[in-house]
């Protein structure tokens, strides 16, 4: 038996067209159902996406019905259904953008208006409404905004009325720095005006100002060094805050040339908060800071804690840190254990540097002066020098090339042996045995006898 292949092909083609029409009818029927049926809604949007992708001509003829009902499904409480419906809408907008139709503008306008109206739906939670709106808006940007059609026009009055707009502008700059480089001068004017307004009214700037500057520095880095340098004086006038420290972290990380300016500005704020005094000028001759006469009463504990955090987070120069040594040991009544670690680490670093100077400094006078000062210190201070890590450094002085250093080291270790005999005495016995061995076997006993009085 012979078959007519042409007839079979035409028959199957007609069956396929009928199947597509039937699927479209079923899909649109489920979309139009007023009563929510989770399974049918999910099936309808999945089917609509496939029909739009593979039978675009047939789907385009029914597109008006699709756009009329798809936004109801987009507001479904289930995130899975919302995501599936936005995929179907994506496929529908893709094929309509490639064809000419009288209703195209109406469909696009409907997408935008429905996205905004979603926030007015009381049946959904705030998170669900926001998710649905953002899905629709992001889809429009994908379809029609591929070439960066977003136009940023910062307006001073508008930003001041809604300061959170600064965060959006900062994110746009971070996403595409080159496109918005021409807006940098205008944005700097906006930020400077907001800072001046806050300073004149003696209040802290909006947190969005600091967030914007953080994103701004991260986006443009060293290319905006001059702009940021002009803002530093205004920023420090606003006072120490968490937002200010975040901005300064980004400035130090991305604009290395401004590191000294940042340290100087922060140190003025920290010195005033922690000591209650004005930071001395760099040009003034070095002098000891005035000792506190009584225990300082902390009136603003969160600000003091923030100041201590900032003191530990930034790598300040050593001469800056030494200014705080008279104030941070025990003059505050209560400091949380977590923040006390910064103070202890600072004291430990300075003390270790002093001990190292007494061992490795190239000048004999410096080494001798350090050891003699240690010998004259009180018992409370010597307890810090009697720690194992500090003792290991001081033992090295026993082998110094100068006898004066060896003698001073023995005197110091003799005092420390009262505090930590378990570590000091065995080492002292070893030195004594070495000295006696040299006395017995060496022909140059005179140099050995010079060390005996101190032993």
Q: What is the pLDDT of residues 147-159, one digit of tens each?
A: 444 454 555 556 6
Decide: 222 and 185 in contact? Cβ < 8 Å.
no
Say whether both 31 and 132 belong to one domain. yes
Whether residue 60 lies inside any domain: the answer is yes
Whether residue 422 lies inside any domain: the answer is no
pLDDT, one tens digit per residue, over 300-311 is: 788 888 888 888
Lowest mean pLDDT across 62-66, 205-209, 277-281, 321-325? 321-325
Say whether both 134 and 219 belong to one domain. no
Say whether both 131 and 70 belong to one domain. yes
Domain containing 135 equals: 15-147
**Residue corresponding to tokens 């300016």:** 261
Name the DSSP letter for residue 37.
-
Whether residue 90 lies inside any domain: the answer is yes
Buried b (16+ CB within 10 A) or exposed e, 359-394: beeeeeeebbebbeebbeeeeeebeebbeeebbeeb
Say whether both 118 and 220 belong to one domain. no
- The pLDDT assigned to 242 comes to 92
Query: At residue 276, what are phi and psi to the nearest 5 degrees?
Result: 75, 10
pLDDT, one tens digit per residue, over 71-82 is: 888 888 888 888
Long-range contacts, 22-26 (Cβ 8 Å, 24+): 23/47, 23/51, 24/51, 24/55, 24/58, 24/59, 24/62
- The pLDDT assigned to 245 comes to 92
How many angstroms separate the CA atoms of 229 and 357, rounded? 37
Say whether both 185 and 91 belong to one domain. no
Say whether both 277 and 205 belong to one domain. yes
Last residue of a domain, one of 281, 309, 328: 281
Whether residue 247 lies inside any domain: the answer is yes
Whether residue 297 lies inside any domain: the answer is no
Number of domains in the chain: 2
Decide: 99 and 59 in contact? Cβ < 8 Å.
no
Alpha helices, H only, 255-398: 259-275, 301-313, 318-322, 337-360, 364-375, 379-385, 388-395
Say whether both 20 and 141 belong to one domain. yes
In which band, very low, low, confident or very high, does the pLDDT at 334 lie, cut at 50, 70 and 90?
Answer: very low
The token pair that represents 446 in the structure block: 């005179």
* Nearest residue to 292 via CA among 237, 352, 333: 333
- The pLDDT assigned to 211 comes to 93
pTM assigned to the model? 0.48
Say whether both 130 and 53 belong to one domain. yes
Whether residue 276 lies inside any domain: the answer is yes
Distance of CA 101 to the CA centre of its chain: 49
Whether residue 172 lies inside any domain: the answer is yes
Whether residue 228 lies inside any domain: the answer is yes
Last residue of a domain, one of 281, 306, 325: 281
Name the DSSP letter for residue 397.
G
Say whether both 71 and 138 belong to one domain. yes
Task: Let me know if 414 is exposed, middle or buried by CB neighbors in 10 A (0-12, 13-18, 19+).
Answer: middle
Last residue of a domain, one of 231, 260, 281: 281
Say whether both 193 and 135 belong to one domain. no
Mean pLDDT score, 217-224: 92
Lowest mean pLDDT across 238-252, 259-273, 319-333, 376-390? 319-333
pLDDT, one tens digit per residue, over 97-123 is: 777 666 777 777 777 777 777 777 777
Say whether both 64 and 116 belong to one domain. yes
Say whether both 56 and 164 belong to one domain. no
- Quote the crossing angle between the two packed helices 38-54 and 5-32, to the nearest 10°: 140
Range among 233-242, 275-284, 428-437 rated most confident: 233-242
Range among 253-262, 388-397, 428-437 rated most confident: 253-262
CA distances from 334 to 295, 297, 308, 347, 435 (A): 11, 9, 13, 18, 51
How many angstroms separate the CA atoms of 235 and 320, rounded? 21
How many angstroms separate the CA atoms of 28 and 449, rounded? 109
- The pLDDT assigned to 315 comes to 80
How would DSSP label each residue in 46-97? HHHHHHHHH-HHHHHHTHHHHHHHHHHHHT-S-HHHHHHHHHHHHHHHHHHH
Name the DSSP letter for residue 222.
G
């Amino acid at each position: 038996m012979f078959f007519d292949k042409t007839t079979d092909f035409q028959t199957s083609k007609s069956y396929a067209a009928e199947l597509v029409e039937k699927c479209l009818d079923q899909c649109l029927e489920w979309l139009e159902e007023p009563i929510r049926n989770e399974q049918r809604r999910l099936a309808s949007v999945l089917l609509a996406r496939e029909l739009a992708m593979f039978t675009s001509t047939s789907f385009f003829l029914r597109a008006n019905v699709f756009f009329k009902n798809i936004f109801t499904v987009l507001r479904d409480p289930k995130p899975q259904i919302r995501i599936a419906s936005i995929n179907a809408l994506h496929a529908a907008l893709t094929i309509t953008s490639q064809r000419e139709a009288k209703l195209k503008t109406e469909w696009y306008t409907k997408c935008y208006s429905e996205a905004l109206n979603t926030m007015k739906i009381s049946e959904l939670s705030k998170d669900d409404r926001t998710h649905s709106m953002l899905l629709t808006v992001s889809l429009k940007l994908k379809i029609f905004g591929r070439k960066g059609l977003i136009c940023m026009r910062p307006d001073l009055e508008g930003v001041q009325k809604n300061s959170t707009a600064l965060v959006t502008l900062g994110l746009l700059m971070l996403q595409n720095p080159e496109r918005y480089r021409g807006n940098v001068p205008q944005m700097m004017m906006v930020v400077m005006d907001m800072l001046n307004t806050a300073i004149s009214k003696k209040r802290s700037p909006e947190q969005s100002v600091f967030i914007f500057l953080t994103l701004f520095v991260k986006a443009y880095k060293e290319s905006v060094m001059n702009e940021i340098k002009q803002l530093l004086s205004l920023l420090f006038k606003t006072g120490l805050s968490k937002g200010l420290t975040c901005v300064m972290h980004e400035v130090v990380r991305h604009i290395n040339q401004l590191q000294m300016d940042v340290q100087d500005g922060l140190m003025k704020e920290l010195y005033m908060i922690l000591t209650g005094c004005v930071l001395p000028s760099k040009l003034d001759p070095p002098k000891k800071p005035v000792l506190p006469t009584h225990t300082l009463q902390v009136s603003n504990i969160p600000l003091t804690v923030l100041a201590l955090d900032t003191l530990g987070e930034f790598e300040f120069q050593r001469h800056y840190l030494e200014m705080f040594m008279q104030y941070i040991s025990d003059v505050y009544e209560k400091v949380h254990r977590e923040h006390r670690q910064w103070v202890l680490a600072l004291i430990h670093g300075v003390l270790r540097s002093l001990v190292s100077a007494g061992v490795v400094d190239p000048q004999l006078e410096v080494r001798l002066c350090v050891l003699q000062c240690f010998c004259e210190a009180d018992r409370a201070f010597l307890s810090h020098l009697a720690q194992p890590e500090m003792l290991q450094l001081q033992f090295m002085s026993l082998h110094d090339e100068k006898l004066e250093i060896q003698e001073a080291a023995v005197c110091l270790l003799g005092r420390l042996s009262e505090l930590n005999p378990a570590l000091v005495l065995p080492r002292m016995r070893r030195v004594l045995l070495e000295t006696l061995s040299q006395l017995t076997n060496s022909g140059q006993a005179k140099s050995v006898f010079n060390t005996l009085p101190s032993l």
